[in-house]
Chain A
Amino acid sequence: MKSIEELKAIRDKTLKEMSIRDNEDKMRIVVGMATCGIAAGAKPVMSAFIDELNKRNITNVNVSMTGCIGICRLEPVAEVIDANGEKTTYVKLNPEKARRIVAEHIVNQRVVTEYTVGAAEK
C-alpha cells in the first residue's frame, strides 16, 4: 500500500459489495419468486434488477425475494417499496422492463405506469 488512494479504492469497491448488509431505511425491490414467478421467468428479472443497480452504482436499494402475491397470472411480479413504505406493483416483467424500471423509477423517481398492475388490469 503506497497511497491513501489505493486504500480508498479498495474501500469503495468492497463497500458496494457489502451494502446489501446495510439495513437502513432504503428502497426495496421485492421480486415474487414462488413457483409461479419462477416458471414465468422471475429469476432473469431479479438478476436484471441486481445487475442494472450495480452498473449504475446504486447501493441504497435492496433487492429481495418474496413468495406468491396471489396474482400468478400476472407474474413475474415485482414491487418497488420506497423509504416511506409507498408500494408500486409492476407485473408481467422481463429483464428489459426491469432495467427500465431501475432507470425510470429508481433513478428518476418516475413510476413506469404502463407496467403497473393498474395498467395491466384495465
Chain B
Amino acid sequence: MVYRSHVLVCNGTGCTASKSPEIMAKLEQALVEKGLDKEVKIVKTGCFGLCQKGPIMVIYPEGATYCHVSVDDVEEIVNEHLVKGRIVKRLLLGDKEAEDVAKSLENVPFFSRQFRVALRNCGVINPEAIDEYIARDGYAALAKVLTEMTPQQVIDEIKKSGLRGRGGAGFPTGMKWQFAANQVNDQKYVCCNADEGDPGAFMDRSVLEGDPHTVLEAMAIAGYAIGANQGYIYVRAEYPIAVQRLKIAIQQAREYGLLGKNIFGTDFSFDIDIRLGAGAFVCGEETALMTSIEGKRGEPRTRPPFPAVKGLWEKPTILNNVETYANIPVIILKGADWFNKIGTEKSKGTKVFAVGGKINNTGLVEIPMGTTLREVIYDIGGGIPNGKKFKAAQTGGPSGGCIPASHIDVPIDYDNLIELGSMMGSGGMIIMDEDNCMVDIAKFFLEFTVDESCGKCPPCRIGTKRMYEILDRITSGKGEEGDIEKLETLANNIKQSALCGLGQTAPNPVLSTLRYFRDEYEAHVKEHRCPAGVCKALLRYMIMPDKCKGCSLCSKKCPVGAISGEIKKPFVIDQNKCIKCGVCMDTCKFAAIEKK
C-alpha cells in the first residue's frame, strides 16, 4: 500500500500528556470522513525532542512541522494541508513566513545543531512497527556480528570505538564486556539499566519509547559477545508507555525470530524479559538493580566482586544503560573508526541531554562530546527566558554538581565535567538563572537523596540526613558560624565511607555549589540574607521611601495588616508581622517595594 502522505504524530510521554492520542483519534476520524484514509497514513512516533513545543506533528512529503497542535487544529490541518495541499503556516515551527518549508525540521537551529546517533530513529519511525526499524538498518548489526564476526572481534570493535557508559560513571563499555567474556561459566546474563531516576532526566525513557528495538538488538549483540543467552531489562513501572512499547517490541522480535532460538540460523540463542522496578532511585545502582531483579529488596552490596564476575544470581553479568545500548548497533554497522572520530580525545561519540529549567527550548538534545555549554544553552536551547542572566547548569542530578557561568565555554565531556566538580551523569541538565538560590538547589537535591537512601549503610542513612538538617537551618535563617565547615567535613566523610554510588555522590551538589557559590552560603549564614531572593525565611520586603507615593493600596491588600502609614507619606512594613507573601509587591503601582 502506497500512501501519498505520511502524518507523523509524536507519542512520547510529553506529547501524550498534551493530548496527542486524542489528536490522532480525531485525525483518523477526519481522514475517514474526507475519504483520505487510503491515501494518508498516520504514523505514531517517539519523541522528537522538542517537548516544549509539543504536541508535534510532521507531514510528509512536504516535511511541514507543526507545533502546539491541539485537537481543534486537526480539522484545519486536514482541510487545508491534506485536502488542498496548503500548509497551515500559523502552526509551523520556526519561520512561519518561510516560502520553502520542505526542510523545516532540519532548518530549525534546535535540530540542525544536533548530531543524532542514539536518537537516530526517535521521531522518525513508528516504534511499534518492527519493519520500520528494519528499514532503517535495524537488526543488520546483529546479522553482521552473528555471521561475520567472532565474539572477541565484537568486543574489540566496541573497545576501539571508545564508547563509555552513558549511565553516568563513564566506564569503558568494551572493557566491561571483556571482563564478562573472560569468565568461564555456563550461564551469563545481559542486563539493561532503564531505571532512570534523576529528577528531570528523560533520555532513556525517550529512547525506549521512540526506538525500543535498538535496545533489544544491542542486548543480543552483547549476549553474543560475552556468551549469554538471557537478557533482562530493568525498567521502572512509572514509565508505562516505555514498558508497553518494549513488550510489543519483544513480541515482534520473537515472532520474526530475532529473539529466541538459533537466530539467523546460527547456534546463537538469546531472549529478553522485562523486570519492572517500583521506582526506587537506589535500584539504578548496579548491585541493587540486580538484587531487585532477583526478587529481593533493592539494596546494594559491596564490590568487588564486580557484576562481570558475580552478578545476577551470582553469574557473570553485564549491565549497560539504555543510551549506551542505543549506540552499539551504529558502531557495529558504521565501524569503530567512524564513531571514534566524533567527540573529544577521551570521550567519544555523542551524549543525549534532557535540558530543562530556565531555558526556552525544554527538550531532548543529542550533541557530540566536546560541545560547549554555551552552544547547548544559546544555540540549541534558545537562551534563557525573560532576558534573565544565566547563572549555572546542574548536570548529573543528585550525584552531580553545577557548572557556573564562568565555565560556560568549557567543552562538555566526562573528564572536563569531573574536573569542574560535576559529572556527566545520565544526562539531566537543569539550567538556572539569577533567580535561583544555590543553597536552595543543594538542599533540594539532598532532600531527594535523603528520601531515596536505602538505609543500609550509616554514612548515607544518617550522614545525608544531618547534612540536610544543616542546609535546612541555613536556608531558614538559623545558620550558625561553622555550619559551612561542618557541611564540608560531613560531605567528605560520606563520600569516602558510603557503600554505593548513591551515598558516595550524594554530597556532590553541596560540595560543588560550595566551590562556586560559597559567598551565597556565607550571605545566608552571616548576614541572614538570600542573595537570589528565594529562601522565604530570609527575605525582607521593604518600602523604598523615595518611591512610595503613600497611596495606601498595599496596606489595604496586606492580609496580616503589617503595613501602616499616613496617606501621601511613605508607608512602612512591620517585619515582625510580615508573612512574606509578596502581595504588596504585586499591588504596588510605583515599584516602590523591594525584596531583599
Which residues in A have some Cβ–Cβ distance to B below 8 Å?
Answer: 1-4, 7, 10-11, 13-15, 17-18, 20-21, 23, 28, 30-31, 33-34, 46-47, 50-51, 54, 62-67
CB-nearest residue of chain B to A42: B85
Within 8 A of A (CB), among B1-56: 1-6, 8, 39
Which residues in B have some Cβ–Cβ distance to A below 8 Å?
Answer: 1-6, 8, 39, 60-63, 83-86, 102-103, 105-106, 124-125, 131-132, 134-135, 137, 139-140, 143, 147, 256-258, 262-265
User: What is the CA–CA distance of A31 and B6 in the complex, to the nearest angstrom?
Assistant: 17
**Chain B residues within an 8 Å CB radius of A13:** 131
CB-nearest residue of chain A to B266: A2
State whether A4 touches B60 (Cβ < 8 A). Answer: no
**Chain A residues within an 8 Å CB radius of B106:** 23
State whether B85 touches A64 (Cβ < 8 A). Answer: yes
Known: A1-B264, A11-B140. A63 touches B4 (CB 8 A): yes
**Chain A residues within an 8 Å CB radius of B263:** 1
Taking the closest CB of chain A, its distance from the CB of B15, in whole angstroms, is: 18
Taking the closest CB of chain A, its distance from the CB of B84, in whole angstroms, is: 6
24 contacts between A and B (CB under 8 A): A1-B257, A1-B263, A1-B264, A3-B264, A3-B265, A4-B143, A7-B264, A10-B134, A10-B135, A11-B140, A17-B135, A18-B6, A20-B5, A21-B6, A21-B124, A23-B60, A23-B61, A23-B63, A23-B105, A33-B84, A50-B2, A51-B2, A64-B85, A65-B84
**Chain A residues within an 8 Å CB radius of B105:** 23
User: What is the CA–CA distance of A46 and B61 in the complex, to the nearest angstrom?
Assistant: 14
State whether A67 touches B84 (Cβ < 8 A). Answer: yes
CB-nearest residue of chain A to B1: A17
Which of B8, B60, B135, B256 touches A15 (beta carbons < 8 Å)? B135
State whether B3 touches A20 (Cβ < 8 A). Answer: yes
State whether A20 touches B60 (Cβ < 8 A). Answer: yes
**Chain A residues within an 8 Å CB radius of B134:** 7, 10-11, 14
State whether B60 touches A34 (Cβ < 8 A). Answer: no
State whether B61 touches A17 (Cβ < 8 A). Answer: no
Known: A21-B8, A23-B105. A10 touches B60 (CB 8 A): no
**Chain B residues within an 8 Å CB radius of A67:** 84-86
User: What is the CA–CA distance of A8 and B265 in the complex, to the nearest angstrom?
Assistant: 15
Taking the closest CB of chain A, its distance from the CB of B107, in whole angstroms, is: 10
**Chain A residues within an 8 Å CB radius of B39:** 47
Taking the closest CB of chain B, its distance from the CB of A114, in whole angstroms, is: 26
**Chain B residues within an 8 Å CB radius of A47:** 4, 39
CB-nearest residue of chain A to B86: A67
**Chain A residues within an 8 Å CB radius of B103:** 23
**Chain A residues within an 8 Å CB radius of B256:** 1
Known: A23-B105, A64-B62. A4 touches B131 (CB 8 A): no
State whether B265 touches A66 (Cβ < 8 A). Answer: no
User: What is the CA–CA distance of A51 and B125 in the complex, to the nearest angstrom?
Assistant: 23
Known: A2-B265, A11-B134, A64-B85. A20 touches B6 (CB 8 A): yes
State whether A4 touches B3 (Cβ < 8 A). Answer: no
User: What is the CA–CA distance of A51 and B106 in the complex, to the nearest angstrom?
Assistant: 29
Apart from A4-B264, A14-B132, A62-B61: 14 A-B pairs, beta carbons within 8 A: A1-B139, A2-B257, A3-B265, A10-B131, A14-B131, A18-B125, A20-B3, A23-B106, A30-B85, A33-B83, A34-B84, A64-B5, A64-B85, A67-B86
